[in-house]
Structure 1
Amino acid sequence: MAEAHSAAALSFSLTHDGVSVSYDQELLRDFWHGYVRGIKRRMGRFNNHFRAGMFPANPLTLAVVVGLISIFSAIGIDVSFGVVPFLQNYVLYYVFGDGLIGRTISLLLASALIWFALVQMIRLSLKMLLCYKGWMYEQPGKPISSPTKLWLGILAVISKCGPALHSFQGALPHLPVPSLDETVKKHLRSMKPILSEKEFKELEVHSDRFRLGVGRRLQRYLTLKSFLSINYMTDWWEEFVYNRQRSPIMINSNYYGFDTLNDCPTTVQAARAANITWAALQFRRKVERQEISPFSIAPRTKVPFCTMQYERLFNSCRLPGEECDRFAQWDDAKHVAVFYNGVWFKVPVHNGKRLLDACELQAQFDEIIKSDPKPTEGEEHVAVLTAGERKPWALARKEFFSTGVNKTSLRAIERAAFCVILDDEEVFYDPEDHTKLDAWAHNLLHGKAYNRWFDKSFNIIISKNARFGINTEHSWGDAAVTAHFVEFVLLKDVVFEGYDETGNTKGEVKVKMTPERLKWHITEPLQKQIDTSLSVANALIADVEMALLPWNEFGKGLVKKLKCSPDAFMQMTLQLTYFRNQNKFSLTYEASMTRLFREGRTETVRSCTVESCDFVRSMLDPKTSRDERVRLLRIACEKHQDQYRDAMTGRGMDRHLFSLYIIKRYLEEESPFFDAIFPPTYLLSTSQTPLNQCDDEAEMKHLSPDKKLKLVSAGGGFGPVADAGYGVSYVISGENHITFHISSKRSAPNTSSAGFKADLIKSLREMQTLFVE
C-alpha cells in the first residue's frame, strides 16, 4: 500500500507541450515532515549523548575555560601549558601566519583540548568515586562512617548538576571478578544446609581440588575477559540463559505485571487502551530525551545505576534462530501493533508532526472494536508460533514469512513500538474470592497462547472491562525497569490524564488516523506448524498453576519494629513455608541486581543459609521461646542482608561460577566440581518487585500519600523455574500490604500452589506472633 501511495505521489508523463509532472502535495508534505523528524531525532540524540558524555561538566564550563585562557593570554600570561604557542607557531602558522585569525583559532582549539582533558579527569574521578561501596554496609540506625559521609556529600553535590539518563554510564565501574577462593568458600557454605554429611565432605574435596587446580586456569581466562569487555558476564548471560534456550519462552521465561488493585478509573476498553498507550509513549519520549532519572532511590541517598536496559524497552523484539535467538531494535517506530478478536492491526501513533493525543488513539481503538473484524482461516492463531518451541518457529519464520504479505505483516509487528492486546475476557479482583485474581494472573502470564506476541519486548494487555496488565519478554532486561515503566504509566493514566464523566479519554480529536488491518497467507504447511505450536503451548498452560495472596494483616511497618529488613523477613517467611510444605530445605534463588556496574543484570542471593535453617527449626520447635526465635531471626536476616550486599557490589558467587563454567565448556576441561554442582537446581525461586521508582518525577512530589497508594500495583509474577519447584514473587506495597504470586507445575507430584499458599498464610501468622511482647 505504501509503495502505491509513493507512486501516486509523483508521476511523469510526456505530452505535446513537453514533460508533465504531477504530484500529491499532501503526501509529499508528509514525506518532508518525516525527513525533518528524522533529522531532529538524530540531532537530539547527538546532543543528549554529548551532554551525557561530558557530565558533570556542561557547555557553560567550556565557555568559562575559553574566557579564562583568552583573558590571561591577552595580558601575556600563558595558562595553557604551552598548547596555545605550540598551535600558533608550529601548526596554524603555516596556514594563517602570525595574525589575529591564527591566534584566535589557537586559543579556541587549546581551550577545547584543555577543557576536554579536564572533563576526562573529572569523569575518571567520578568513576573512582562510584567504585566505593562502603555505603552498602552501613548499619541502619547507627552513625554513618566518615568515608560514607564524605561520599554521600560529594554525590549530593553532583546530583544537583542535572544529570540525564545516561550521564553516569561512562563513569560506572566495571563488574569486578570475585576472588576464586572466596567464591568456592561461599558456595560450599551455601550447600551445607541441603547436603548430607557424606555429600558435604565429598563436595569439600571437589571444591579444594577445583580451587587449587583447573579453577586457577579458568579464573585467569575470566580475568582476561573482564579486561576486554564492559561486563564479563552480561553477554554470556543473555546468550546462554535466554537466547540459546530452545524451549518456549511463554511461561518459562516471560513474566507479567499487574494493574493497581484499586477501582479501575474507567470501564471503557478503548479509552483505557488509549490512555495507557499514550502514557507508554510519553515514557518512550522521556527515554529518548534522557529525561528519566539515572538514580535509584536508596535509603540513604540517590545512587546512580546502569540505565542501558531503558534503551531496549521500546521498538524492539526477540527474533528466533535455529540455534540461538537474537535481540533486534529499530531506531524509531511510529505505530503499535494491536490484536483484537483474532486480527492484528497496525495503529499509527504519530502523524509525522507529533505524537497523537490519547483521544486520537481512542478513536482508532474504537474503530477497530466497532468494525467487529472476523479472522480468516488460520489468521487468529498466527501469534502462537511465538509461544511454541523456538527452533520450529525460526524455521517457519524463514520459510513462510520471508516474502509477500506475511513478511509485511510480520515486520509491522516486530518493528512496532510495542503490542497492545484488546482482550475479549473480563478480569476481576475480589477480596472475598481470590480465585478471580488467580485467573487474572493466568491471563497475564499466558493468555490463550495465541493472543500475545511473546517475542515483543512487552505486550500491554487491556481486558474487556478495561483492566490493565503487561506481559514482558525477559532477554532484553529485568523486572526493575519494567516495574518503573508500569509505575510511570499508572501515574500518568490514573492521576494526571484521567477520564471524562463518561469514562472516555479527555480532549478533542484534531487528527484522524486510520488503523491498517494486517493480512496473512496461511498455507497448509504453515497451518500444521501453527497447530503444533498451539498444542505445545496448550500443554504448558494446562500444567501451570497460579495462586495469589494479597496479605493485609501486616506489612513492612510492623516488620521494622523488629529491626529487620522487610525483604529478609519475607525470605525467612518463605523458608519456613517451604520447609512446612516439603519437609526439607532446598537451594533458594532470590534475584538481586548488579546495576551499580555498567551493563549489570542480576545476581543470585541464596536465601537458604545455615542461619535461616536454624531459625526455621526454632519456629517449628514448640519448646523454643519467642526471644530465642527473634534472636535467630535477626541473625538470619543479617546474614541474608550481607549476602544481598555482596551480590549488589559484585561479590556474588553464582554469576562468577556460571562464567567459569562457560569457559570450562569452551576449553573442554574436565571438572568433577562442576559435574557435581552444575546446573544448580533452585526448587524455590523468588523475586521482589521494586516500588517507588517514580519518586524523582516532579509530579510525584506533590501527591498525597493516599493518591500514591492508588498507584501501587499488585506487582507481578513468573512461571515455575524448576519442574518440581515453586516460583514466588512478592511486592511489599505499603505499611500494611503485601501481595504474593505463587506458581508451580500441576504435573509435579510434590507441589501445589494452592497448598503453598495455605502454608504461607500459616507461616505469616506465626511470624506475626514474634511482634507480640
Structure 2
Amino acid sequence: MAEAHQAVAFQFTVTPDGIDLQLGRDVLRHLYLSGLIACRKRLITLKSSVLSGVYPASPSTWFAVVAVTLGSLYGKVDVSFGLITKISNLLPGQSVLTPVSRTAVSAVIFSSGVWVSGILLYRQVLRMLLSYHGWMFEPHGKRSLKTKLWAGCMKVMARRQPMLYSFQMSLPRLPVPRLEDTIERYLQSVHPLMDEEKFSRMKSMAHDFQKDLGRKLQKYLHLKSWWATNYVSDWWEEYIYLRGRGPIMVNSNYYAMDFLTVSPTTNQAARAGNAIHAMLLYRRKLERGLIPPVMALGIVPMCSYQMERMFNTTRVPGVETDFLQHLVESRHICVYHKGRFYRLCLYDDRTLLSPRQLQTQFQRILDDPSPPQPGEEKLAALTAGDRVSWAKARSDFFSQGVNRVSLSSIEKGVFFVCLDPDALGHQEEDKNSLSVYAKSLLHGNCYNRWFDKSFSLVVFSNGRLGLNAEHSWADAPIVGHLWEVLTYCN
C-alpha cells in the first residue's frame, strides 16, 4: 500500500509527441533527501577513515607540529637542521613566492613529513609488539617477565582511546606456517580416525605431497601473503561457506538467546521497538567508527573487518557458489508475522523513529487481520533448503515483476524481524522449555525465518528475544558483541 501511494508522485504518459513525464512534489523531495543523506554519509565515512588512518595522531597534533616548527623559525631556531632550507631551494616558482612564503611552505612540508613519519614509526613498533604470541601459551596468573614488559608496552601504545578501525593498519600479517609443520599437524589430527594400514598409506601420500606439489603450493601461499594481510580469509569464506550447496539452516546458521530470567517487558511490540531502536543506534556508531575495537586482555586489538557487514547484508544464492550482497545504506526492515511480510521504514525523512513510534508500527502489524497472499506464508522455506534449488527458483520466479520487487525489499533491508505468536523462553516448571526455545531460534518452523539475512531478530509474544545469524559474513563473536550491547540496553 505504501509503495502504491508513493507511486502517484511519479507519472508518465505516452503521447504522439513523445513521453510526458511528471514529477510530483513528494518524489522531488525524496530525491533531494536521498542525495543529501548520501553526501552526509560519505562525509562521515571520510572523517572516520581519516581519524582512524592517522591514529594515534589527530589533525590537531598536525597543527601543533606545524605551529611548533613555525614558532621555532620565528625564534631563530632551526629544528630541521637545514632541511627546511633545502626544501625551500627545491620548491618550484621561485620568482612567484617571496622568501618568507617559501620558508613557511617548506616548514609546513617538513612538519607534515615529521608527523607522518611518527605515525609510520608507531605502526611499525605496534606491529612488532603484536607479533609476540608468548602470552597465549602462559597460564593465567603466571606471566613471565618478558610478557609483563610486553603488556606494559602495549598499554602505553594503546593509551589513547582508539576508534573501531584505528589498529587495522598496525595488525601484523598472518604468517604462513612451514609446510612440514602443516603436514605433521594434519597427520596427528587424522591418526585417531584411521587404522594403522590406512594411516600408513596416508602418511606416505603426505610425504609425497610434501616433496612435490606441496612445495609449489607453498610458494604460491608465500606470494599471496606478501600482498594480502590474511592469505586464507577470502578462500575460507568462499570454499567453507559460500560454495556449500547444502542447507545453511542448522548446518551453518547459529542462534543467540535472551536473558533467561530477566525480561524488561512482556509487551511484544514494545520490546521489538526498543530492541530495534538500540540496534540502529549501534549501526550508527558502527558506521562512524565510534565503537572501540575488541581487545584481548584489554590490550591486544582484534581485527574489526568483519563488523562492517553486520547490517544491510544478505547471502544471495547461486548455482555453483553464493555471494554476499552488502549495501552501504538501507533505511527499512522486513517484518514477518503469521505468514505475512511487511516493509517497515525506519526513518521519518532524516530522523530515526523513536522506540515509541516503532512500537506503534509493530502493534499495527500485530493487529492486522489480513490473511497471507497465495504463496506468501511459506516463501522463506526457500532459504532453508539446498542452495541450488533456491538459486534456480530465484532465477525462474523472482527475476522480474512484483516478485522481484518483493524479494528486493527483503534482501535490501537492514535485517529481518520475526514477530512470533508463540510465548517461548526458559521456564522453571518445564524442563523442555529451553530446548523448545533453542530449536525455535535455530530453525523455527523452517519458513518463519529468512536464513539468508545477516541476522534475523526474533521477538516472541511474551517479549522474549532471540537471534538467528547467517555464518559466512562473520564469526560468532562479532554478533555476540552486538547481542551483549542489545541485551544490556534492553
Structure 2: distance between partners of 1:6 and 1:40: 26
- CA-CA distance at 1:77 after TM superposition: 4.2
Aligned to 2:367: 370
The yes-or-no answer on 1:392 pairing with 2:405 is no
Aligned to 1:42: 42
- CA-CA distance at 1:64 after TM superposition: 2.2
The yes-or-no answer on 1:334 pairing with 2:335 is no
> Contact 1:165–1:294 at 8 Å: present in 2 too?
yes
Q: List per-residue Cα deviations over 1:78-134 (Å, max 9, x = no partner).
A: 434655334433324347323443433332233223312321222122212211111
> Contact 1:295–1:302 at 8 Å: present in 2 too?
no
Amino acid at match of 1:40: R
- CA-CA distance at 1:66 after TM superposition: 0.5
Aligned to 1:294: 293
Counting only pairs closer than 5 Å after superposition, residues 81-100 of structure 1 correspond to structure 2 as 83-94=83-94, 96-100=96-100
Aligned to 2:251: 252
Counting only pairs closer than 5 Å after superposition, residues 64-103 of structure 1 correspond to structure 2 as 64-80=64-80, 83-94=83-94, 96-103=96-103
- Secondary structure of the structure 2 residue equivalent to 1:282: helix
The yes-or-no answer on 1:264 pairing with 2:263 is yes
- CA-CA distance at 1:190 after TM superposition: 3.0
Structure 2: distance between partners of 1:473 and 1:317: 9
> Contact 2:130–2:171 at 8 Å: present in 1 too?
yes
Amino acid at match of 1:63: F
- CA-CA distance at 1:430 after TM superposition: 2.4
Aligned to 2:18: none
Counting only pairs closer than 5 Å after superposition, residues 568-583 of structure 1 correspond to structure 2 as none
- Relative to structure 1, the CA distance from residue 125 to residue 96 in structure 2 (aligned partners, 3 Å threshold; closer, same or farther) is farther
- Relative to structure 1, the CA distance from residue 219 to residue 100 in structure 2 (aligned partners, 3 Å threshold; closer, same or farther) is same
- CA-CA distance at 1:188 after TM superposition: 2.4
Amino acid at match of 1:115: W
> Contact 2:250–2:443 at 8 Å: present in 1 too?
yes
- CA-CA distance at 1:439 after TM superposition: 1.6
Aligned to 1:221: 220
Structure 2: distance between partners of 1:27 and 1:218: 56
Structure 2: distance between partners of 1:353 and 1:186: 55
Structure 2: distance between partners of 1:6 and 1:114: 57
Counting only pairs closer than 5 Å after superposition, residues 232-247 of structure 1 correspond to structure 2 as 232-247=231-246
Aligned to 1:283: 282
Aligned to 1:643: none
Q: Calculate percent identity across the aligned residue pairs.
A: 39
Aligned to 1:407: 404
Structure 1: distance between partners of 2:470 and 2:161: 32
- Relative to structure 1, the CA distance from residue 82 to residue 348 in structure 2 (aligned partners, 3 Å threshold; closer, same or farther) is farther
Normalised by the size of structure 1, how large is the TM-score? Answer: 0.59
Structure 2: distance between partners of 1:454 and 1:68: 58
Aligned to 1:687: none
Aligned to 2:19: none
Aligned to 2:106: 106
> Contact 1:88–1:103 at 8 Å: present in 2 too?
yes
Aligned to 1:8: 9
- Secondary structure of the structure 2 residue equivalent to 1:51: helix
- Secondary structure of the structure 1 residue equivalent to 2:285: helix
Counting only pairs closer than 5 Å after superposition, residues 170-249 of structure 1 correspond to structure 2 as 170-249=169-248
Q: List per-residue Cα deviations over 1:653-702 (Å, max 9, x = no partner).
A: xxxxxxxxxxxxxxxxxxxxxxxxxxxxxxxxxxxxxxxxxxxxxxxxxx
Counting only pairs closer than 5 Å after superposition, residues 532-547 of structure 1 correspond to structure 2 as none
- Secondary structure of the structure 1 residue equivalent to 2:151: helix
- CA-CA distance at 1:9 after TM superposition: 7.9
- CA-CA distance at 1:3 after TM superposition: 9.0
- Relative to structure 1, the CA distance from residue 196 to residue 424 in structure 2 (aligned partners, 3 Å threshold; closer, same or farther) is same
> Contact 1:341–1:372 at 8 Å: present in 2 too?
no
Amino acid at match of 1:482: V
Q: List per-residue Cα deviations over 1:509-552 (Å, max 9, x = no partner).
A: xxxxxxxxxxxxxxxxxxxxxxxxxxxxxxxxxxxxxxxxxxxx
- Relative to structure 1, the CA distance from residue 337 to residue 81 in structure 2 (aligned partners, 3 Å threshold; closer, same or farther) is farther
- CA-CA distance at 1:140 after TM superposition: 2.2
- Secondary structure of the structure 2 residue equivalent to 1:420: strand
The yes-or-no answer on 1:358 pairing with 2:355 is yes
Aligned with 2:342 (options 327, 341, 345)? 345
- Secondary structure of the structure 1 residue equivalent to 2:351: coil
Structure 2: distance between partners of 1:402 and 1:10: 24
- Secondary structure of the structure 1 residue equivalent to 2:378: helix
- Relative to structure 1, the CA distance from residue 472 to residue 154 in structure 2 (aligned partners, 3 Å threshold; closer, same or farther) is same
- Secondary structure of the structure 2 residue equivalent to 1:421: strand
Structure 1: distance between partners of 2:315 and 2:247: 13
Structure 1: distance between partners of 2:193 and 2:377: 48
Aligned to 1:438: 435
Counting only pairs closer than 5 Å after superposition, residues 525-674 of structure 1 correspond to structure 2 as none
- CA-CA distance at 1:31 after TM superposition: 4.5
- Relative to structure 1, the CA distance from residue 282 to residue 151 in structure 2 (aligned partners, 3 Å threshold; closer, same or farther) is same
- Secondary structure of the structure 2 residue equivalent to 1:380: coil
- Relative to structure 1, the CA distance from residue 412 to residue 84 in structure 2 (aligned partners, 3 Å threshold; closer, same or farther) is farther
Structure 2: distance between partners of 1:257 and 1:316: 18
Amino acid at match of 2:314: C
- Relative to structure 1, the CA distance from residue 154 to residue 373 in structure 2 (aligned partners, 3 Å threshold; closer, same or farther) is farther
Q: List per-residue Cα deviations over 1:234-292 (Å, max 9, x = no partner).
A: 11111111111111111121111111111422221111111111121122122112222
Aligned to 1:312: 309
- Secondary structure of the structure 2 residue equivalent to 1:93: coil
- Secondary structure of the structure 2 residue equivalent to 1:318: strand
> Contact 1:422–1:464 at 8 Å: present in 2 too?
yes
Amino acid at match of 2:9: A
Aligned to 1:726: none
- CA-CA distance at 1:6 after TM superposition: 7.2
- CA-CA distance at 1:22 after TM superposition: 9.5
- Secondary structure of the structure 1 residue equivalent to 2:166: coil
> Contact 1:89–1:98 at 8 Å: present in 2 too?
no
- Relative to structure 1, the CA distance from residue 92 to residue 425 in structure 2 (aligned partners, 3 Å threshold; closer, same or farther) is same
> Contact 1:247–1:388 at 8 Å: present in 2 too?
yes
Structure 2: distance between partners of 1:376 and 1:256: 29
Structure 2: distance between partners of 1:2 and 1:197: 67
- Secondary structure of the structure 2 residue equivalent to 1:408: helix
